[in-house]
Amino acid sequence: MEWGVVSSSATAVFPPIDEILRVAEDLDGFKKRLRDLGADLGQALSDKLRAESKCERVRESISASAAVEALEATSDEDDTWRKDIEKSLCWYQNLLGFQAVDGGEGVKFVFDKVDLQSPEKEFSFSLKFDSDRYTSVLRCSPPVEDSEELMKDLNLTNDLVKFVRIIRQRFQAAALNGDLPVSPSVCSDASAIPISTPVIKSVDSRSKNDRDRSNSQSKNRKPALPAKRKASVLSAASPGSVRRSTRFVVTV
């Protein structure tokens, strides 16, 4: 009686062996499924990393392509800009005689076609540049008095074209004002040649002496002078020569 009670109590506390075996098999199945899910998760993570890496390479390729396209566009713009600059420099050189060359300490700007009387005469100045500002004007020929003020304005406005244009205008003004030597070969009109005051006085004095000498000879001459000598005396004392000398002096 007691054994039966104990047996029924143990049965109530512990499940049957078949049930335990079934649960153990189910547990093994769950473990295997968990391992398979872990492997799938690892594969999925690996695929994700590969996909992200591929996307990153694609993005970099797209960025590189865009950068190359931008560089090509910039290069095309630079080529166009360079051609325009070369065309402008050629135009300035042919029309205004402008050149920009390496001057050692700075950039040397050379002009000709400034002096109308001597178009081949060269005018030049060198501009020194340091970091982000222009520092000084070197070897300016002929000198420009207010070059320092022009330099300050250049650094304020950064307008190099305006600065070069003003310097060329100063060169032109110096040439027009006669501050530069002028070649005498350009003078084609004798009336344009300046005659000093002593020369004019000598002309007047010579004319007066000729008149006095001719008057003296006319007073002392004999009636029987030869015709040829008489004509020369009258020619030397003729008022037409005096008028021509006076007219020349007045014209000058």
List pLDDT tens digits, range 8-60: 555 556 668 888 888 888 888 888 889 999 989 989 999 999 999 999 999 99
pLDDT of residue 98: 84
Residues 174 and 116 in one domain: yes
Q: How confident is the model at residue 184 (pLDDT cuts 50, 70, 90)?
A: very low
Domain count, the chain: 3
Half-sphere exposure of 46 (CA within 13 A, CB side): 6
Within a domain: 239:
yes
pLDDT of residue 120: 87
Which of 49, 69, 95 is where one domain is finished?
95
Range of the domain at 210: 190-251
Which of 95, 126, 154 is where one domain is finished?
95
How many angstroms separate the first and last alpha carbons of the chain?
Answer: 169
Distances (CA, A) of 25 to 18, 21, 208, 221: 11, 6, 156, 173
pTM for the model stands at 0.40
Within a domain: 2:
no
